[in-house]
Amino acid sequence: MPEFIKTRITADGRDGYPVEPNRYRLVVARACPWANRTVIVRRLLGLEDVISMGMCGPTHDERSWTFDLDPGGVDPVLRIPRIQEAYFARFPGYEHGITVPAIVDVPTGQVVTNDYAQITLDFSLEWKAFHRDGAPDLYPAALRAEIDEVNELVYKDINSGVYRCGFATSQEVYDKGYDRLFARLDWLTDRLATQRYLVGDTITEADIRLFTTLVRFDSVYHGHFKVNRNKLSELPVLWAYARDLFHTPGFGDTIDFPQIKEHYYKVHTNINPTQIVPQGPDLANWHDPHGREALGGSPFGEGTPPAPPKPAEAVPAGHTA
Protein backbone atom coordinates (compact mmCIF):
# COMPACT_ATOMS: atom_id res chain seq x y z
CA MET A 1 0.00 0.00 0.00
CA PRO A 2 1.69 3.26 -1.12
CA GLU A 3 2.51 6.09 1.27
CA PHE A 4 1.94 8.55 -1.55
CA ILE A 5 -0.34 7.45 -4.35
CA LYS A 6 1.75 7.94 -7.47
CA THR A 7 -0.95 7.13 -10.02
CA ARG A 8 -1.05 9.81 -12.70
CA ILE A 9 -3.77 11.26 -14.87
CA THR A 10 -2.17 11.51 -18.30
CA ALA A 11 -3.12 12.36 -21.86
CA ASP A 12 -2.45 8.77 -22.95
CA GLY A 13 -4.14 7.24 -19.89
CA ARG A 14 -1.24 4.85 -19.29
CA ASP A 15 -2.07 4.46 -15.58
CA GLY A 16 -5.72 3.81 -16.37
CA TYR A 17 -6.82 7.40 -15.78
CA PRO A 18 -6.91 9.42 -19.00
CA VAL A 19 -7.28 13.18 -19.11
CA GLU A 20 -11.01 13.72 -19.45
CA PRO A 21 -13.03 16.88 -18.75
CA ASN A 22 -15.46 16.76 -15.83
CA ARG A 23 -14.36 13.30 -14.70
CA TYR A 24 -12.12 14.27 -11.78
CA ARG A 25 -12.51 16.34 -8.62
CA LEU A 26 -9.58 18.09 -6.98
CA VAL A 27 -10.02 18.05 -3.20
CA VAL A 28 -8.17 20.78 -1.31
CA ALA A 29 -8.16 22.85 1.85
CA ARG A 30 -7.28 26.53 1.78
CA ALA A 31 -5.27 26.08 4.97
CA CYS A 32 -2.83 23.60 3.45
CA PRO A 33 0.22 24.98 1.58
CA TRP A 34 0.61 21.81 -0.49
CA ALA A 35 -3.03 22.01 -1.62
CA ASN A 36 -2.75 25.77 -2.16
CA ARG A 37 -0.25 25.09 -4.97
CA THR A 38 -2.82 23.08 -6.90
CA VAL A 39 -5.47 25.78 -6.44
CA ILE A 40 -3.10 28.39 -7.88
CA VAL A 41 -1.98 26.29 -10.85
CA ARG A 42 -5.52 25.18 -11.71
CA ARG A 43 -6.57 28.83 -11.70
CA LEU A 44 -3.60 30.17 -13.69
CA LEU A 45 -4.08 27.54 -16.38
CA GLY A 46 -7.85 27.99 -16.55
CA LEU A 47 -8.77 24.42 -15.66
CA GLU A 48 -11.74 25.35 -13.48
CA ASP A 49 -14.29 24.22 -16.06
CA VAL A 50 -12.72 20.79 -16.63
CA ILE A 51 -11.57 19.80 -13.11
CA SER A 52 -14.06 20.53 -10.34
CA MET A 53 -12.84 21.44 -6.86
CA GLY A 54 -14.05 20.28 -3.46
CA MET A 55 -13.12 22.31 -0.40
CA CYS A 56 -12.44 20.81 3.02
CA GLY A 57 -12.65 22.92 6.14
CA PRO A 58 -9.58 24.18 8.01
CA THR A 59 -9.71 21.72 10.90
CA HIS A 60 -9.87 17.95 11.09
CA ASP A 61 -9.45 15.10 13.52
CA GLU A 62 -7.00 12.19 13.42
CA ARG A 63 -9.06 10.40 10.76
CA SER A 64 -9.10 12.87 7.88
CA TRP A 65 -10.07 16.20 6.40
CA THR A 66 -13.82 16.80 6.36
CA PHE A 67 -16.24 18.70 4.15
CA ASP A 68 -17.69 20.68 7.02
CA LEU A 69 -17.98 23.86 4.92
CA ASP A 70 -20.60 22.24 2.69
CA PRO A 71 -24.31 22.00 3.56
CA GLY A 72 -24.81 18.98 5.78
CA GLY A 73 -21.06 18.44 5.92
CA VAL A 74 -21.14 16.43 2.69
CA ASP A 75 -19.29 17.18 -0.55
CA PRO A 76 -22.01 17.94 -3.13
CA VAL A 77 -20.30 15.97 -5.92
CA LEU A 78 -18.63 13.06 -4.15
CA ARG A 79 -21.45 12.71 -1.59
CA ILE A 80 -19.05 11.91 1.23
CA PRO A 81 -18.35 13.71 4.54
CA ARG A 82 -14.63 12.85 4.65
CA ILE A 83 -11.96 12.53 1.97
CA GLN A 84 -10.96 9.36 3.84
CA GLU A 85 -13.87 7.58 2.17
CA ALA A 86 -12.36 8.14 -1.30
CA TYR A 87 -9.05 6.70 -0.10
CA PHE A 88 -10.76 3.64 1.42
CA ALA A 89 -12.82 3.14 -1.74
CA ARG A 90 -9.61 2.36 -3.60
CA PHE A 91 -7.39 1.12 -0.77
CA PRO A 92 -9.53 -0.40 2.02
CA GLY A 93 -8.00 0.41 5.39
CA TYR A 94 -5.43 2.79 3.87
CA GLU A 95 -2.83 3.12 6.59
CA HIS A 96 -0.94 6.24 5.57
CA GLY A 97 -1.80 9.90 5.79
CA ILE A 98 -5.20 10.96 4.45
CA THR A 99 -3.91 14.10 2.81
CA VAL A 100 -4.91 16.95 0.55
CA PRO A 101 -4.55 17.75 -2.24
CA ALA A 102 -6.09 14.62 -3.66
CA ILE A 103 -7.75 13.97 -6.99
CA VAL A 104 -10.79 11.70 -6.99
CA ASP A 105 -12.29 9.82 -9.94
CA VAL A 106 -15.90 10.91 -9.65
CA PRO A 107 -17.55 7.91 -11.39
CA THR A 108 -15.93 5.40 -9.01
CA GLY A 109 -15.50 7.66 -5.98
CA GLN A 110 -11.92 6.42 -5.67
CA VAL A 111 -8.85 8.53 -4.98
CA VAL A 112 -6.52 8.63 -7.98
CA THR A 113 -3.52 10.45 -6.57
CA ASN A 114 -2.30 12.58 -3.68
CA ASP A 115 1.16 13.14 -5.17
CA TYR A 116 1.10 16.93 -4.73
CA ALA A 117 4.39 17.54 -6.51
CA GLN A 118 3.31 15.67 -9.64
CA ILE A 119 -0.26 16.97 -9.70
CA THR A 120 0.74 20.53 -10.60
CA LEU A 121 3.28 19.39 -13.18
CA ASP A 122 0.63 17.23 -14.81
CA PHE A 123 -1.80 20.14 -14.84
CA SER A 124 0.83 21.97 -16.91
CA LEU A 125 1.89 19.11 -19.18
CA GLU A 126 -0.87 16.51 -19.45
CA TRP A 127 -3.88 18.84 -19.41
CA LYS A 128 -2.45 21.24 -21.98
CA ALA A 129 -5.26 20.65 -24.47
CA PHE A 130 -7.67 22.19 -21.96
CA HIS A 131 -5.64 25.24 -20.88
CA ARG A 132 -7.32 28.60 -21.29
CA ASP A 133 -6.26 30.96 -24.05
CA GLY A 134 -3.33 32.96 -22.68
CA ALA A 135 -2.38 30.36 -20.05
CA PRO A 136 1.24 30.83 -18.90
CA ASP A 137 3.91 28.19 -19.37
CA LEU A 138 4.70 27.34 -15.75
CA TYR A 139 7.16 24.57 -16.59
CA PRO A 140 8.96 25.61 -19.79
CA ALA A 141 11.10 22.89 -21.34
CA ALA A 142 14.22 25.04 -21.55
CA LEU A 143 14.13 25.80 -17.81
CA ARG A 144 12.97 22.49 -16.34
CA ALA A 145 16.37 21.34 -15.11
CA GLU A 146 16.91 24.61 -13.23
CA ILE A 147 13.33 24.66 -11.93
CA ASP A 148 13.74 21.10 -10.63
CA GLU A 149 17.03 21.99 -8.95
CA VAL A 150 15.58 25.06 -7.23
CA ASN A 151 12.43 23.18 -6.24
CA GLU A 152 14.45 20.45 -4.56
CA LEU A 153 16.39 22.95 -2.46
CA VAL A 154 13.27 24.89 -1.53
CA TYR A 155 11.39 21.70 -0.69
CA LYS A 156 14.09 20.30 1.60
CA ASP A 157 15.02 23.48 3.44
CA ILE A 158 11.91 25.68 3.34
CA ASN A 159 8.65 23.89 2.44
CA SER A 160 9.56 20.97 4.71
CA GLY A 161 12.02 23.00 6.76
CA VAL A 162 9.37 24.94 8.65
CA TYR A 163 7.69 21.65 9.61
CA ARG A 164 11.03 20.14 10.63
CA CYS A 165 11.38 22.98 13.13
CA GLY A 166 7.77 23.02 14.24
CA PHE A 167 7.49 19.30 14.93
CA ALA A 168 11.00 18.84 16.33
CA THR A 169 11.08 16.86 19.58
CA SER A 170 14.72 17.55 20.38
CA GLN A 171 16.79 20.71 20.54
CA GLU A 172 19.32 19.25 18.11
CA VAL A 173 16.75 18.52 15.40
CA TYR A 174 15.19 21.94 15.85
CA ASP A 175 18.53 23.77 15.73
CA LYS A 176 19.62 22.00 12.55
CA GLY A 177 16.32 22.67 10.85
CA TYR A 178 16.36 26.31 11.93
CA ASP A 179 19.86 26.87 10.60
CA ARG A 180 19.04 25.18 7.27
CA LEU A 181 15.85 27.19 6.87
CA PHE A 182 17.41 30.59 7.37
CA ALA A 183 20.53 29.75 5.38
CA ARG A 184 18.24 28.92 2.45
CA LEU A 185 16.19 32.07 2.95
CA ASP A 186 19.43 34.07 2.87
CA TRP A 187 20.39 32.23 -0.34
CA LEU A 188 17.04 33.15 -1.83
CA THR A 189 17.54 36.77 -0.82
CA ASP A 190 20.78 36.87 -2.80
CA ARG A 191 19.15 35.18 -5.78
CA LEU A 192 16.07 37.42 -5.84
CA ALA A 193 17.86 40.69 -5.18
CA THR A 194 18.58 41.09 -8.89
CA GLN A 195 15.87 39.03 -10.59
CA ARG A 196 12.13 39.26 -10.23
CA TYR A 197 11.31 35.54 -10.30
CA LEU A 198 13.11 32.41 -9.18
CA VAL A 199 13.87 30.96 -12.61
CA GLY A 200 13.72 33.00 -15.80
CA ASP A 201 11.79 36.24 -16.17
CA THR A 202 8.25 34.91 -15.71
CA ILE A 203 6.35 33.02 -13.02
CA THR A 204 7.12 29.30 -12.98
CA GLU A 205 6.31 26.26 -10.87
CA ALA A 206 9.24 27.27 -8.63
CA ASP A 207 7.62 30.55 -7.58
CA ILE A 208 4.33 28.85 -6.78
CA ARG A 209 6.01 26.27 -4.53
CA LEU A 210 7.91 28.94 -2.61
CA PHE A 211 5.01 31.38 -2.35
CA THR A 212 2.68 29.07 -0.44
CA THR A 213 5.23 28.77 2.37
CA LEU A 214 6.22 32.43 2.42
CA VAL A 215 2.62 33.65 2.58
CA ARG A 216 2.09 31.61 5.77
CA PHE A 217 5.37 32.61 7.39
CA ASP A 218 4.42 35.57 9.59
CA SER A 219 0.88 34.42 10.35
CA VAL A 220 1.83 30.91 11.44
CA TYR A 221 5.37 29.63 11.07
CA HIS A 222 7.24 32.46 12.80
CA GLY A 223 5.46 31.90 16.10
CA HIS A 224 3.77 28.50 15.94
CA PHE A 225 6.80 26.69 14.48
CA LYS A 226 9.40 28.81 16.32
CA VAL A 227 11.21 29.98 13.17
CA ASN A 228 11.72 33.39 14.67
CA ARG A 229 15.10 34.75 13.59
CA ASN A 230 13.18 37.16 11.38
CA LYS A 231 9.65 37.71 10.20
CA LEU A 232 9.21 37.65 6.45
CA SER A 233 8.29 41.34 6.70
CA GLU A 234 11.78 41.95 8.15
CA LEU A 235 13.52 40.44 5.11
CA PRO A 236 13.13 43.23 2.51
CA VAL A 237 13.89 41.28 -0.68
CA LEU A 238 11.76 38.24 0.15
CA TRP A 239 8.99 40.40 1.56
CA ALA A 240 8.79 42.44 -1.66
CA TYR A 241 8.96 39.24 -3.75
CA ALA A 242 6.11 37.65 -1.78
CA ARG A 243 3.97 40.79 -2.10
CA ASP A 244 4.66 40.91 -5.85
CA LEU A 245 3.20 37.43 -6.19
CA PHE A 246 0.39 38.16 -3.72
CA HIS A 247 -0.71 41.08 -5.91
CA THR A 248 -0.70 38.84 -9.01
CA PRO A 249 -4.12 37.42 -9.98
CA GLY A 250 -4.33 33.76 -9.01
CA PHE A 251 -2.07 34.07 -5.96
CA GLY A 252 -3.28 36.41 -3.21
CA ASP A 253 -6.90 35.81 -4.12
CA THR A 254 -6.51 32.13 -3.14
CA ILE A 255 -5.26 32.93 0.37
CA ASP A 256 -7.62 32.62 3.35
CA PHE A 257 -5.69 33.82 6.38
CA PRO A 258 -8.33 32.99 9.02
CA GLN A 259 -8.55 29.39 7.76
CA ILE A 260 -4.76 29.11 7.68
CA LYS A 261 -4.44 30.26 11.28
CA GLU A 262 -7.36 28.17 12.52
CA HIS A 263 -5.87 25.02 11.01
CA TYR A 264 -2.40 25.29 12.47
CA TYR A 265 -3.33 26.59 15.90
CA LYS A 266 -6.30 24.26 16.46
CA VAL A 267 -5.16 21.02 14.82
CA HIS A 268 -1.60 20.89 16.18
CA THR A 269 -2.59 20.40 19.80
CA ASN A 270 0.79 18.88 20.62
CA ILE A 271 2.30 22.29 19.86
CA ASN A 272 -0.61 24.51 20.95
CA PRO A 273 -2.69 22.55 23.49
CA THR A 274 -4.89 25.55 24.35
CA GLN A 275 -5.97 25.87 20.69
CA ILE A 276 -5.96 29.65 21.10
CA VAL A 277 -5.68 31.36 17.72
CA PRO A 278 -3.67 34.60 17.91
CA GLN A 279 -5.28 37.77 16.65
CA GLY A 280 -2.20 39.11 14.88
CA PRO A 281 -0.31 39.92 12.85
CA ASP A 282 -1.82 42.91 11.04
CA LEU A 283 -2.15 41.87 7.41
CA ALA A 284 -2.71 45.30 5.84
CA ASN A 285 0.96 45.52 4.82
CA TRP A 286 0.43 42.78 2.22
CA HIS A 287 -1.09 45.52 0.06
CA ASP A 288 1.94 47.82 0.25
CA PRO A 289 3.66 48.53 -3.10
CA HIS A 290 6.48 46.08 -3.79
CA GLY A 291 8.50 47.90 -6.47
CA ARG A 292 9.66 44.66 -8.08
CA GLU A 293 8.56 45.80 -11.55
CA ALA A 294 11.87 47.66 -11.75
CA LEU A 295 13.66 44.31 -12.08
CA GLY A 296 11.89 43.61 -15.37
CA GLY A 297 10.19 40.40 -16.28
CA SER A 298 6.50 39.80 -16.77
CA PRO A 299 4.30 37.60 -14.57
CA PHE A 300 2.72 35.64 -17.41
CA GLY A 301 5.23 36.18 -20.21
CA GLU A 302 3.31 36.17 -23.48
CA GLY A 303 0.21 34.96 -21.64
CA THR A 304 -2.49 36.85 -19.79
CA PRO A 305 -3.83 37.01 -16.23
CA PRO A 306 -6.57 34.56 -15.27
CA ALA A 307 -10.16 35.69 -14.94
CA PRO A 308 -11.42 36.47 -11.43
CA PRO A 309 -12.33 33.40 -9.40
CA LYS A 310 -15.82 32.02 -9.78
CA PRO A 311 -18.09 33.26 -6.98
CA ALA A 312 -18.40 29.75 -5.52
CA GLU A 313 -14.62 29.45 -5.31
CA ALA A 314 -13.80 32.96 -4.11
CA VAL A 315 -12.22 33.45 -0.69
CA PRO A 316 -14.87 34.89 1.67
CA ALA A 317 -14.89 38.65 2.04
CA GLY A 318 -12.65 39.76 4.85
CA HIS A 319 -10.53 36.60 4.84
CA THR A 320 -7.78 37.93 2.60
CA ALA A 321 -5.31 40.58 3.66
Binding positions for glutathione: 65
DSSP string, 192-239: HTS-SSSSTTS--HHHHHHHHHHTTIIIIIHHHT---S--GGGSHHHH
Catalytic residue, candidates 32, 174, 221, 264: 32
Do 36 and 119 contact (CB within 8 A), yes or no?
no
In angstroms, the CA 16 to CA 38 distance is 22
Q: 174 an active-site residue?
A: no
User: Considering only CA atoms, which of 258, 255, 274, 257 is closest in space to residue 266?
Assistant: 274
Q: 197 an active-site residue?
A: no
SS3 state at 34: helix
- DSSP H or E stretch at residue 25: strand 24-29
Q: End-to-end alpha-carbon separation of the chain, Å?
A: 41
Do 238 and 35 contact (CB within 8 A), yes or no?
no
**DSSP 8-state class, residue 44:** H
Positions annotated as catalytic residues are: 32, 163
